[in-house]
Structure 1
Amino acid sequence: MLKEYLVFAILIGALALFIWGRWRYDIVALIALMATVACGAVPYRDTFLGFANPAVITVAAVMVLTEAIMSSGLIDVVVKRLAPATDNALLHIAVLTIMAAVLSAFMNNVGALALIMPIAMVTAAKQKRSPALLLMPIAFGSILGGMTTLIGTPPNILISTYRQEVVGKPFAMFDFTPVGLGVAIVGIVFIIFIGWRCIPKARLSKTSTEDIFSIDDYIAEVLVPAETVLVGKPITAIEEYITKEYAVLGLIRGNRKRLQFSEDEELQANDILIIEAGSKDLEQLINSAKLQLVGDATVTPEVLTSDNVGLAEAVIMPGSSIEGRTPARLQLGRRFGVHILAIARAGESFQQRLKNVRLRAGDILLLQGKSDNLSETIADIGFLPLADRGLRIGMEKGALKPVIVFVIAMILTATKILPVQIAFSGAVLAMILLNIIPIRKVYSSIDWSVIVLLGAMIPVGGALETTGGTTLIANAIASFSGHIPAVVILGLVMIITMTLSDVMNNAATAVVMSPIAVSIAQSLGYNVNPFLMAVAVGASSAFLTPIGHQNNTLVMGPGGYHFGDYWRMGLPLEILIIITALPLILWVWPLW
């Protein structure tokens, strides 16, 4: 009896940590796992059994397959051909939202958003529209699209695997489609015609990220005259003459501008330094080191580019190893040749010491580096480039290969010839053997924070069941539901799942709610299928906050959204989903 209450306490503590957001969700999941092991709810031998769960293997395989298809260039070609249909604002929203939903049905929905988001940014700038008009609808569309198939979102995979444990048979590839597609269609129609109007007008006033990054306010060209004490000293000697943060972004010597240089390089007379600093700090440096300001007090961002050095904007991915670290610790300049020029969060740029800013998921960074491989370098670091990558004119040779392999895996799964984890793992192996994707990219394309989250939370969810916690909850609900219609109980399960999904990771929500939903169904004598479907819909309906789903977090910075902006469109959307999903579930998956 004590163990079940300890597991309850651990889950409540984990929920509090998820909401707090100070620690990454994979770390929180590991804490919860270790706590359940420590209290004896999870046997030692089963501690890491979650990592061998078919759902975890399937999620990892889908991530790799998504990367292979994205790298082929095929999706880019399709997206770019549809993107010009953006003259009308309503059509602009519709085209990109529907594309995001369709792609999310068959690939990782974060990957789908990563494909559409740069196109949205470029087309928004071209049409002089705010990215905020497009990004929240696209993010919500990608989440809705993920509901429609087994592989569209991790919660569906987890729920399917759990069903196999309960009734001996998992959900098939398109078992989610009747309900998921109906919900997605209704949701997307709402977003296109009504939802986007709920975005605050203040967010729609900024027509591009140039309005967020005002770097020309604090970048100046400074001359090093012959009489200054800095001549013959390394560039780092500037630190002696300025008390606050600064950054040397470029060096002009003679007729040559260099944006990549060693900080130990000795300064020469008549060198011109491109320096980033606050106006008072810049004045202090000039006066104390006897430097001279060249021309106006500020320069335009174009001075930060050259033939082989360019600028790029990128957003920090949720779960990235970059989260929680500072630019000073990352040392991107030394490791990757990339410099952070500016940081924006929730639509506002930092006018402070960037070196010590603790980075968060959704932050936008203005980066400087070698232009020939800047986008690839940014992606390798763990950022999502926001500009149109422009790396391909057309499809790469053999671009259809990954699609063919992927379709074969889907057919094998849909026809039940192979279980999904075997079919998709085999597809990954086939892509490696066919040289479609290199081994290095296989491992780098997997979001290991998600894998750790799933592998850790599955035993925790199992502990809730084995200690009798789910039965306790189910019996409590059953005792109060004697005269309550089944549709109300089903709706409550969906609403509770939605609420949890809005404040914690949706996969973790599915792990916790699936056994509870099944216990409720069994205690009331109902079929488990409609209750599992209610959990599937609820877990994928994270529209009230930017923390409920990775895609919501990703668009927060580029869209300039605030935390309280999401519920304006998300709340009516979630109500509409409940109204749509409940009759569909009861029609497709009867209670008896």
Structure 2
Amino acid sequence: MEPQQIVFLAILATALALFVSGRMRVDVVAMLTLLALTFTGILDARQALAGFSSEPAIIVAAVFVLSAGLSATGITDRMGAAIGRAAGGSEWRTIAVVMPATAALAAFSHHVMVTAMMLPILMRLAREQKLAASRLLMPMSLAASLGTTLTLFSAPAFLLAGDLLKRAGGGGLDIFAITPIGAVLVALGTAYMLLGRWLLPKREGDGEAQPGDYLRLERYYTELLVERDSPWIGRTRGEFEQAFAERLQVVDWLRHGMRRRRQAGDSPLAAGDVLLVRASPDEIASIKDEPGLALHAVAKYGDKPREDGQDELLGEEQLVQAVVAPHSEFIGRSVSDIDFLRTLGVVAVGLWRREGWLHGELSEVRLEEGDLLVLWGRQPEFETLAAHHGFLMLMPFQGQEKPRRRAPLALAIMIATVAAAATELLAPQIAFLAGAVAMVLCRCVPIEQAYQQIDVRIFVMIAGVIPLGIAMEQSGTAQLVADLLMAHAAHWPVFVLLLVMFGVAALLTQILSDAATTVLLAPIALAVAQSLGLPATPFVVCIAMGAVASFLTPIGHHGNLLILTPGKYTFGDFLRVGVPLTAAIALATAWMARWLWLDGPLWPALGG
């Protein structure tokens, strides 16, 4: 063993120890590793910094922005809601619908974001249909991870694998090169979960409302005003409900402050009508962008001058939610009696109540202990309000404004980006970078939100671990390990070697990220393929697949951590479900890789 290889192995061992210990952030460890490789002379400055301008790092950052655009315009929410409706009320149908649909979403977005989006939808479905959430959340999370095997840009591991193959003199991978394998894995995972549902835990109370649900609110009551010159004037209530079916629920209809006696679906709306609706926080925050509609309380009070001569509320306002405290002076009084604008300088625009339905004008509802009000005002007023003993607490309103009118444009940008990369009209990194810029320029997502959505840790980590792979090749360590492996496995069938590649990556990814695992093992796979005189693509792809599609523990994928508490899962649950599934995925991946790139048989009966 040469001195440079000994130094490299020492750096690698230290980096692995820091990655596993969790004492430092992964991006910091990656930067320290990069510097160590430079200071020891294993890499020069250009090689050490190559990761920051690499195709994988640029595409990963761009995908975060594209995903933010789809989320900000409400596209992912609509798709998630549609999936929830199609799931029906039975457990098997929910799994059969949710898994392929979730995988399809994850193929063009970030799988953790998709998991987070589907989590409340399935929790609500479990409560309504009296199903155990633990029987639904794990299949959904696994499907989100399997969905990343459908396209090259869905997971950093595949981008890094393609980059390595390109640097090795091959043609790299196009964005749909792994799609046949991914499609088989999604179908296999869905079938496995349907047939092996008995492996999933079923614990009492999983589908019931949890104590923490109190602050994870999904629907508030608020009032919408049909403004003058609104495009909704003359159109029927039925048309309105159909247009907003996925976004809000009409509870009552007021005209001139009185309840409409006839509230049939074919009754036309008129200017000044007020609709009492149940809406999500995002819809309340976004309603000002709907032509001809406004929050009634803001339209009624918000632009009136204050008695003390201050400017109107509109202009620097924000939404805050406040809980009515026990024994509060507001209990039993209506919103109009309290006159929030005059006495507290804010406007009440929405209300959430744990039980019961509200009817009639919101301002006439008498408050109860525990009611949660959505208040509209300026920061100075809220600072004063925070000290008021009538409220238990003030919390930021969690709704995000969604420019839903730009949803078709955001979808068109995403489709054009993928098409440009797939047809090689543009280089993949340029196509995705252009798509991310288009999302911002077309105001599908604010620039500040776009930057916030980029996970800098992942970007820096990818840029930092790419030199680790270069150093493994350049120092000869990859060839050394490959020679040791081939000394014992030279006569093994290629199919078995592909399984070994997958299995080693599957084990290592339980303690490292999929990107780090791929960077460390792909050079070894490349050297093994060269030793056998075979194409490197199937060996490197099996490494990346093992890093992405192994489900042995809950810590192997960030999406699993999101469902751990809501599903009341244990470590053993993931082992019981994940070990057979990972074994089946390994066999399917090795078989498909041999068929795609080594001319192996697709069906066993065909020989070979």
Q: Same fold (TM over 0.5)?
A: yes
* Change in CA separation of 1:308 and 1:588 when aligned onto 2, cut-off 3 Å: same
Match of 1:51 in 2: 52
Task: Give the letter aligned to residue 15 of structure 2.
Answer: A
Q: Is the 8 A contact 1:46 1:459 kept in 2?
A: yes
| Structure 1 position 158, deviation (Å) | 1.4
| Structure 1 position 126, deviation (Å) | 1.6
| Structure 1 position 562, deviation (Å) | 2.5
Task: Give the letter aligned to residue 126 of structure 2.
Answer: A
| Structure 1 position 450, deviation (Å) | 0.8
* Change in CA separation of 1:163 and 1:304 when aligned onto 2, cut-off 3 Å: farther
| Structure 1 position 29, deviation (Å) | 2.4
| Structure 1 position 478, deviation (Å) | 1.5
- For residue 522 of structure 1, give the secondary structure of its aligned residue in structure 2: helix
Match of 1:232 in 2: none
| Structure 1 position 212, deviation (Å) | 6.9
Match of 1:374 in 2: 398
* Change in CA separation of 1:118 and 1:50 when aligned onto 2, cut-off 3 Å: same
* Change in CA separation of 1:572 and 1:435 when aligned onto 2, cut-off 3 Å: same
**Inter-partner Cα distance in structure 2 for 1:303 and 1:421:** 55
Task: Give the letter aligned to residue 329 of structure 2.
Answer: N
Task: Give the letter aligned to residue 483 of structure 2.
Answer: N
Match of 1:402 in 2: 410
Which residues in structure 2 correspond to 1:173-192 (within 5 Å)?
A: 173-192=175-194
| Structure 1 position 251, deviation (Å) | 5.7
**Inter-partner Cα distance in structure 1 for 2:36 and 2:132:** 46
* Change in CA separation of 1:547 and 1:32 when aligned onto 2, cut-off 3 Å: farther
- For residue 422 of structure 1, give the secondary structure of its aligned residue in structure 2: helix
Match of 1:567 in 2: 575
Task: Give the letter aligned to residue 94 of structure 2.
Answer: H
Match of 2:290 in 1: none
Which residues in structure 2 correspond to 1:7-156 (within 5 Å)?
A: 7-84=8-85, 85-156=87-158
* Change in CA separation of 1:548 and 1:29 when aligned onto 2, cut-off 3 Å: farther
The count of corresponding residues between Structure 1 and Structure 2 is: 445
- For residue 542 of structure 2, give the secondary structure of its aligned residue in structure 1: helix
| Structure 1 position 116, deviation (Å) | 1.4
Q: Is the 8 A contact 1:67 1:111 kept in 2?
A: no
* Change in CA separation of 1:206 and 1:79 when aligned onto 2, cut-off 3 Å: closer
Match of 1:488 in 2: 496
Match of 1:255 in 2: 329
Q: Is the 8 A contact 1:308 1:370 kept in 2?
A: no
- For residue 206 of structure 1, give the secondary structure of its aligned residue in structure 2: coil
Match of 1:199 in 2: 200
Write out per-residue CA displacement over residues 6-60 of structure 1, whole angstroms, 9 at most, x where no aligned residue.
3223323333333333433223323333333343323344433211111100011
| Structure 1 position 253, deviation (Å) | 7.4
| Structure 1 position 569, deviation (Å) | 0.9
Match of 1:415 in 2: 423
Q: Is the 8 A contact 1:96 1:120 kept in 2?
A: no
Task: Give the letter aligned to residue 143 of structure 2.
Answer: G
**Inter-partner Cα distance in structure 1 for 2:393 and 2:63:** 32
Which residue, out of 367, 372, 379, partners 1:306? 372
**Inter-partner Cα distance in structure 1 for 2:372 and 2:76:** 31
Percent identity among equivalent residues?
30
| Structure 1 position 415, deviation (Å) | 1.0
Task: Give the letter aligned to residue 546 of structure 2.
Answer: G
**Inter-partner Cα distance in structure 1 for 2:552 and 2:209:** 24
* Change in CA separation of 1:434 and 1:154 when aligned onto 2, cut-off 3 Å: same
Q: Is the 8 A contact 2:325 2:370 kept in 1?
A: no
- For residue 139 of structure 2, give the secondary structure of its aligned residue in structure 1: helix
Which residue, out of 445, 452, 457, partners 2:453? 445
Match of 1:520 in 2: 528
**Inter-partner Cα distance in structure 1 for 2:435 and 2:71:** 15
**Inter-partner Cα distance in structure 2 for 1:214 and 1:251:** 15
Q: Is the 8 A contact 2:100 2:186 kept in 1?
A: no
**Inter-partner Cα distance in structure 1 for 2:489 and 2:328:** 83
Q: Is the 8 A contact 1:113 1:551 kept in 2?
A: yes
Task: Give the letter aligned to residue 374 of structure 1.
Answer: Q
Task: Give the letter aligned to residue 19 of structure 2.
Answer: F
Residues 164-173 or 174-183, more deviating: 164-173
Q: Is the 8 A contact 1:526 1:591 kept in 2?
A: no
Q: Is the 8 A contact 1:510 1:539 kept in 2?
A: yes
Which residues in structure 2 correspond to 1:160-309 (within 5 Å)?
A: 160-194=162-196, 196-202=197-203, 205-208=205-208, 210=210, 255-256=329-330, 303-308=369-374
* Change in CA separation of 1:442 and 1:309 when aligned onto 2, cut-off 3 Å: same
2:516 aligned with 1:508: yes
**Inter-partner Cα distance in structure 2 for 1:553 and 1:521:** 36
RMSD between aligned residues: 2.9
**Inter-partner Cα distance in structure 1 for 2:515 and 2:41:** 24
**Inter-partner Cα distance in structure 1 for 2:521 and 2:567:** 32
Q: Is the 8 A contact 1:506 1:542 kept in 2?
A: no
* Change in CA separation of 1:211 and 1:514 when aligned onto 2, cut-off 3 Å: same
- For residue 566 of structure 2, give the secondary structure of its aligned residue in structure 1: helix
Q: Is the 8 A contact 2:65 2:439 kept in 1?
A: no
**Inter-partner Cα distance in structure 1 for 2:479 and 2:330:** 74
TM-score for the superposition, normalised by structure 2 = 0.68
Task: Give the letter aligned to residue 308 of structure 1.
Answer: V
Which residues in structure 2 correspond to 1:450-465 (within 5 Å)?
A: 450-465=458-473
**Inter-partner Cα distance in structure 1 for 2:7 and 2:74:** 50
User: Which one has the largest radius of gyration?
Assistant: 2
* Change in CA separation of 1:110 and 1:368 when aligned onto 2, cut-off 3 Å: farther
* Change in CA separation of 1:142 and 1:441 when aligned onto 2, cut-off 3 Å: same
Task: Give the letter aligned to residue 98 of structure 1.
Answer: P
* Change in CA separation of 1:476 and 1:440 when aligned onto 2, cut-off 3 Å: same
**Inter-partner Cα distance in structure 1 for 2:187 and 2:375:** 44
* Change in CA separation of 1:169 and 1:30 when aligned onto 2, cut-off 3 Å: same
TM-score for the superposition, normalised by structure 1 = 0.70
| Structure 1 position 487, deviation (Å) | 1.4
Task: Give the letter aligned to residue 504 of structure 1.
Answer: L
**Inter-partner Cα distance in structure 1 for 2:137 and 2:58:** 30
Which residue, out of 472, 476, 493, partners 1:468? 476
**Inter-partner Cα distance in structure 2 for 1:71 and 1:108:** 14
| Structure 1 position 564, deviation (Å) | 3.1
Match of 1:316 in 2: none
